[in-house]
Amino acid sequence: MSETPPLPPTLMSDLPPEALRVLALARRHATPCGDGEMVWHVWGEDRGEPLVLLHGGSGSWTHWIRNVEALAAAGRRVVVPDLPGFGDSARPPGGQDADAVAPAVADALPALVGEGPVDVVGFSFGGLCGALMAASVPERVKRLVLVGAPGLGLRDRRLPLTSWRDQPTEEGKRAAHRSNLGVLMLHPDHVDELAVDLQGANVPRDRMHRRRLALTDILARTLPAIRCRIDAIYGEQDALYRDVLPGLREKLALAPTLGDLVLMPGAAHWLQYERPAEFHRELLPLVA
């Protein structure tokens, strides 16, 4: 692992002031990945047990912007990569989906946290990556918390989103980002300017355009092979699951080591952004 100079003018150049403030509290690291590097940020580097946070699709570390400070203040060493193919990290070798991202993360993780297993929290696409890692490299994961993870075979088509690339003006792009956040990620009333800023910074850096596994049942098929404890936190108003909550319970129960399933009332998909204090109250006992 190498410590590197401050971020180049890539993701950082587009981040809003609040994200730059949070980022300034972290230390940046880089590990080899494909033809480049995987970028990691660590908050509370001199603190206790590592807690690895994996972000969602078309995202970056900023999916955890409202969480990293509080989790570090709770005594955890908070380790957050830009997953391969997203943010400032190079694409993984050998694939364009979670099954290529998971081994790349597993290979790099010891450089950040040592050889022992660690707690992993995966949001959405990051939850799918965390589950694949826990199944294939069990020595890396001590406990897994799924947050709104897909791949349970309960939805076989994408939600209708607006193409931001087709908008001729910046105002049009921001309107598309706002609309898409309200369709998939947040309750429309909770889409604030920071969320739109982060979406606008993140989605142009998504180089994993062939992702399809989230629309399959790959997570449901993987859960029976996981031997570490699994807990799950989902929003009751998550657009992916609000109409199939009984099926969600049934699919997650395929995990022989399933602990708690927390359904946060009123919360949507990006629940750790939308309701950070409630999320922390639910998460911290699960990884205590």
Residue-by-residue DSSP string for the chain: -EE--SPPTTHHHH--HHHHHHHTTSEEEEEEETTEEEEEEEESTTSSSEEEEE--TT--GGGGTTTHHHHHHTT-EEEEE--TTSTTSPPPTT-SSHHHHHHHHHHHHHHHH-SS-EEEEEETHHHHHHHHHHHH-GGGEEEEEEES---SSS--S------STT-SSHHHHHHHHHHHIIIIIS-GGG--HHHHHHHHHHGGG---TT--GGGTTHHHHHGGG--SEEEEEEETT-TTTTT-HHHHHHHHTTSTTEEEEEEETT--SSHHHHSHHHHHHHHHHHT-
For residues 4 and 31, what is the distance between their CA atoms, to the nearest angstrom? 10
- Domains of the chain, start order: 2-157+209-286 (3.40.50.1820)
pLDDT at res. 154: 94
For residues 195 and 198, what is the distance between their CA atoms, to the nearest angstrom? 5
Give phi and psi for 137, each to the nearest 5: -130, 70
Report which of 30, 64, 71 is spatially closest to residue 50, judged by C-alpha positions.
Answer: 71
Burial 59-95 (b: 16+ CB within 10 A, else e): bbbbbbbbbbbbbbebebbbbbbbbbbbbbbbbbeeb
Measured from the Cβ of residue 178, the count of other Cβ atoms closer than 10 Å reads 21
- Both tokens of 17, joined, read 């002031």
Q: Which amino acid, one-letter code, is at 226?
A: I
| Tens digit of each residue's pLDDT, the chain (288 residues) | 544 444 445 677 789 999 999 999 999 999 999 999 999 999 999 888 999 999 999 999 999 999 999 999 999 999 999 999 999 999 999 899 999 999 999 999 999 999 999 999 999 999 999 999 999 999 999 999 999 999 999 988 889 999 999 999 999 999 999 999 999 999 999 999 999 999 999 999 999 988 999 999 999 999 999 999 999 999 999 999 999 999 999 999 999 999 999 999 999 999 999 999 999 999 999 999
For residues 261 and 249, what is the distance between their CA atoms, to the nearest angstrom? 8
pTM of the model: 0.95
The tens digit of pLDDT for each residue in 126-152 reads 999 999 999 999 999 999 999 999 999
pLDDT at res. 10: 63
Q: How far is CA 38 from the centre of its chain?
A: 15
With beta carbons less than 8 A apart as the criterion, state whether 287 and 119 touch.
Answer: yes
pLDDT at res. 156: 80
pLDDT at res. 3: 44
- Both tokens of 70, joined, read 């509080």
